[in-house]
Amino acid sequence: MMYERLKTYNIYTRRYFYPLCSEANCYRALPSAELGKLPVARKAANEVLALPFFGSLGDEGAHRVSDAIAYLLEG
């Protein structure tokens, strides 16, 4: 999992679309929130990561993050 592999480089991410709004108590009982519905949203919630971004990250930090991702994707 990319999340775990990035942690080995001290790059900490989080799931971006997690939890889905449809999983909140106020929406959970709606027909549109049923388990078989929203397959694209559920896939995004399971796969999309928020990368580090903050003012002091700078160009060097951004390049470090992107280089680590490129390296990990190359296998």
Q: What string of pLDDT tens digits covers the 75 residues of the chain?
A: 899 999 999 999 999 989 999 999 999 999 999 989 999 999 999 999 999 988 899 999 999 999 999 999 997
Question: Which pLDDT does position 51 carry in this prediction?
Answer: 95
For residue 14, what pLDDT is reported? 93
CA angle 69, 63, 9 (to 5 degrees): 50
Q: Which residue has the tokens 């929406």?
A: 27
Find the domain containing 45 and state its range. Answer: 2-74
Neighbour tally for 33: CB within 10 Å: 15
Q: Tell me, what CATH number does 19's domain have?
A: 3.90.1150.10
Rounded distance between C-alpha atoms, residue 5 and residue 15, angstroms:
14
Structurally, how many domains does the chain consist of? 1
Question: What does pTM read for this prediction?
Answer: 0.72
